[in-house]
Amino acid sequence: MSIKQLKEPFQYKKIPIENISDEIKQKRARNTAGTIKRIWSYLAREKAKLWLVILMVVMSSGLSLLGPFMVGMAIDDYIVEKEVAGLGTLVVGLLVVYLFHSLSIFMQNYWMVGIAQNTVYDLRSDLFHQFHRLPISYFDKRQHGELMSRITNDIDNINNTLNQSVIQIFSSVLTLLGTLAVMIYLSPILTVVTMTIIPVMFFATRWITRRTGPLYKLQQNDLGDLNGYVEEIVSGQHVVKTYSQEQRVIAEFEEKNKKLNRSGFWALTIAGFIPKVMNMLNFMSFGLIALVGGILAINGTGLVTVGIIVIFTEYARQFTRPLNELSNQFNVLLSAVAGAERVFHVIDEEKEETDEHSAIELPETQGHFQFRHVSFGYEDEAILKDISFEAKPGESIAFVGHTGAGKTTIINLISRFYNYDGGKITLDGKELKKIKRSSLRKHMAFVLQDSFLFHDTIRENIRYGRLDATDEEVTEAAKKANAHEFITQLPDGYDTVLDQEGSGISQGQKQLLTIARAFIAEPSILVLDEATSNIDTITELKIQEALKKLMDGRTSFIIAHRLNTIQEADKIILLKHGEIMEQGSHEELLQLRRNYFDLYKGQLQEVGS
């Protein structure tokens, strides 16, 4: 797409619906009834309030029928007969009916808002809890913004539908049945006249809703896709500007924005046909009732009176209004089902802990790891092949190799972010798969290349490693990590509030805070992934000194590209294409004068040049 095209005004008339027909077929709800049933299971948690709402709906529906009936009786019994006595009492009764009708509507809406909010609260809680029970692999394959869209846009869509639709659907059904019963009682002939519009209404509504359901689902997917892209681009804004990719990013955003525009346009446009069709049918119904009723009244058959005609004109509106509302709410319901399906799809994903029902707790560990002929692959791609090595308690193991060699994958297996496919990994003689993930990770601490900080104070960011740590322990951990000095120089010291980007402090200082967080966790197993990359020389020395203290007495796994940072490791493992090429100490590997020797000499030459 060219930039010139982006500047052209977007024309709705240029959006042919046939272009999205294939997408509509793919986005039809897979199990609408099942999804509605699951939403109802959440609503049913508020049974007492639901019964009150139903009671109010029955009352308001009955009173809405009683009002027009009383007006018709007033015309026939008092106005036509010119009888004034008793008319005042009937008017007062009519006022009471409409007063209680308004009160019942207010109460049902009031209680329903509470039910809807509690339902959405439970849904959002379940979804957020599920996020924390899903494996890392799930998040690796999806845009974070798209997942955020599930807990924001999709949940809000369900919330709006519950507030609008549930009451109206109940009310519409009751009003429809009640109106039909009273109409048959008053005049079967006029009832048949009124019912002539039903087949037209049914087929028109069916034609519309068969198209709006998939369109709403397509709209929700397009919205999630757009949110994911925006979140990704905002997070990577430095990269976008560094490589001058603004125009390409704008073009891609415009493409996604137009997809959302297109699906949203057709969803709302086709759904908008319903009130137009209903209004037209309403007018037809009024005309037919007035025509047939007038003829019957003039002929003096006694089957129809002026009052009955008045009642029927009002009931005809009340008869088509519920049908209109049911049609509209069905559209809204389809939109909510589309969002709910996306929410339940996440909730139904296999949880990380489903494979460890019989797994054991690990009260303490020496950190003795053994890899025996371990293999692993992502889907159909083999990543690790026949990996065997041993990490004795307190040893430091460094992994080196080119990008894609499998270094991070081994760390992911050690942390049980992924499960190995073949072979065996043991910790203190116990197979890793038989140890609960939460129990394993309580003994681990991570210092990664991208130091993540929460929007909170420095004190709480450090305390995240062990939430019951005292302020004194936080300070002591910062001192061990060589972070205390720069923290005390900040205006608010340990109470300085940071955001996720850690604005106001350098990359090296952020890394020192993550090291302090690792110190306070008091782990037995330590994982360092490029912990000193992209750091200035002075801060790197502080980080290396802090890491040396942190690694003392702990089993440590280190990933590093710069070989000068791992020379003191007890064992260095050189990986290539998922296989171990060499392993040993720095001196042992240099004496072999093979791959590690060539890699080390190559880096020395780069530094020298």
Q: Write out pLDDT tens, residues 427-454.
A: 999 999 888 888 898 898 888 877 778 8
Cβ distance 414 to 425 under 8 Å? yes
Q: At what angle do helices 273-298 and 188-195 cross, to 10 degrees?
A: 150
pLDDT above 70: percentage of residues in the chain: 86
Residue 555 has what pLDDT?
Answer: 93
Query: At residue 27, does pLDDT exceed 80?
Result: no
* pTM flag (> 0.75): no
Residue 238 has what pLDDT?
Answer: 64
What does the pLDDT average to over 397-405?
87
What does the pLDDT average to over 56-67?
82
Q: Write out pLDDT tens, residues 251-275.
A: 888 888 888 888 888 887 777 777 7
Confidence of residue 609 (pLDDT cuts 50, 70, 90): very low
The residues pairing with 422 across neighbouring beta strands, listed in sequence order, are 375
Confidence of residue 328 (pLDDT cuts 50, 70, 90): low
Low-confidence winner among 119-128, 167-176, 322-331, 538-547 (lowest mean pLDDT): 322-331
Q: Write out pLDDT tens, residues 194-216.
A: 777 777 777 777 777 777 778 87
Count the alpha carbons within 13 Å of 303 in the hemisphere toward its beta carbon.
Answer: 15
DSSP tag of 490: S
Residue 81 has what pLDDT?
Answer: 62
What does the pLDDT average to over 549-555?
89
CA pseudo-torsion sign 169, 171, 174, 178? negative
Residue 15 has what pLDDT?
Answer: 44
Q: Write out pLDDT tens, residues 294-320.
A: 777 777 665 677 777 777 777 777 666
Q: How far is CA 402 from the centre of its chain?
A: 36
> What CATH number has the domain spanning 367-443+567-609?
3.40.50.300
More confident residue, 441 or 224: 441
What does the pLDDT average to over 109-116?
85
Residue 556 has what pLDDT?
Answer: 92
Query: At residue 545, does pLDDT exceed 60?
Result: yes
Arithmetic mean of pLDDT over the chain: 80
What does the pLDDT average to over 377-388?
86
Side by side, the strands of the sheet bearing 571-576 are 444-447, 525-529, 555-559, 396-400, 571-576, 579-584
Q: Among 69-73, 413-417, 557-561, which range has the highest average pLDDT?
A: 413-417
More confident residue, 75 or 498: 498
What are the backbone angles phi and psi of residue 291, rounded to the nearest 5°? -70, -55
Q: Write out pLDDT tens, residues 339-381.
A: 888 888 888 888 776 666 778 888 889 999 999 999 998 777 8
In the chain, what are the domain boundaries?
32-351, 367-443+567-609
For residue 71, which of 91, 88, 96, 85 has the smallest C-alpha distance? 91
Confidence of residue 389 (pLDDT cuts 50, 70, 90): very high
Q: Please give the C-alpha separations between residue 572 and each of 389, 411, 426, 427, 455, in angstroms, as whole numbers.
A: 11, 14, 20, 19, 37
Q: Write out pLDDT tens, residues 142-188.
A: 777 778 878 887 888 888 778 777 777 777 788 778 877 877 877 78
Residue 237 has what pLDDT?
Answer: 72
User: What would be the CATH architecture of the domain defined by 32-351?
Assistant: Up-down Bundle (1.20)
Query: At residue 388, does pLDDT exceed 90?
Result: yes
